[in-house]
Amino acid sequence: MSLHDGIVELIFIIVPALVIDWLHRTSAGRRRD
Amino acid sequence: MYAAHFAAGLALKGRAPRVPMMAFLIGAFVLDILWIAFDVLDVDRMPLNDWSHSLLMAIVWSSVFAVYFRRFGSRAFVAVWLAVFSHFILDLLVQGATLYPGASGRLIIAALVAEHAGILQIGLCVVLLGVYLYDARRASVPAWRALLVSSVVLALNLR
């Protein structure tokens, strides 16, 4: 695997994780309000 | 196996609510992150990525990652440990695994491997998301938001 391929693979892990985390945290924030 | 790892992280988050969500989501991919690093560095040349994905190494990596979260309590440690180790379990179901680096043969659950892998992955995803939705409801998370999170994970099956 090239470094480029490795970075792409990492993006496919980190970006969805950030999106899911953001949705989850937004939910928690609104619940506290 | 891809989306179901996110679903496993979501399902385990409810077991330790004080631990950040990212710990579960990234934890569920620790083995793949190591696989990427080892592959780029040309460290692991085994066909099943033994140094990141074998049973023995999965136990080691789960323990190393989860020990940081012991400050949240033993329950948090176990939940995060399971999030990392769930990667081994899920991969075992669809592609098999080895016991330790360099071990001959492959651990497989033959009936589930290959021919049913696609259906199995979606099925596992649905079950794990069901656990997440149940926990979200108990935590009073708005249903539409929990469903949105679940939809994002289900959509990742298209990758």
Chain B: closest CA distance from residue A14 (Å): 7
| pLDDT at site A33 | 38
- B17 pLDDT higher than 50: yes
| pLDDT at site A31 | 47
CB B22 within 8 A of CB A17: yes
Tokens encoding B42: 């040309």
Least confident of A21-30, B25-34, B76-85, B114-123: A21-30
Mean predicted confidence (pLDDT) in A5-28: 89
B53-77 core/surface letters (b: 16 or more CB in 10 A; e: else): bbbebbeebbeebbeebeebeeebb
CB B158 within 8 A of CB A16: no
Helix (H) or strand (E) holding B89: helix B74-95
Give the count of Cβ contacts less than 8 A between chain A and B: 66
The helix/strand/coil state of B97 is strand
Nearest residue of A to residue B140 by CA position?
A31
- Site of tokens 């929990």: B146
pLDDT tier at B94 (50, 70, 90 boundaries)? Answer: confident
CA B24 to CA B66: how far, in whole Å?
Answer: 10
Q: Which residues contact B109 (CB under 8 A, 6 or more apart)?
A: B92, B93, B96
Q: Is the ipTM of this complex over 0.95?
A: no
Contacts of A18 in chain B (CB under 8 A): 22
Contacts of A26 in chain B (CB under 8 A): 145
| pLDDT at site B95 | 80
Residue B8 identity (one-letter amino acid): A
For B95, other C-beta atoms within 10 Å of its C-beta total: 16
Chain A: closest CA distance from residue B118 (Å): 19
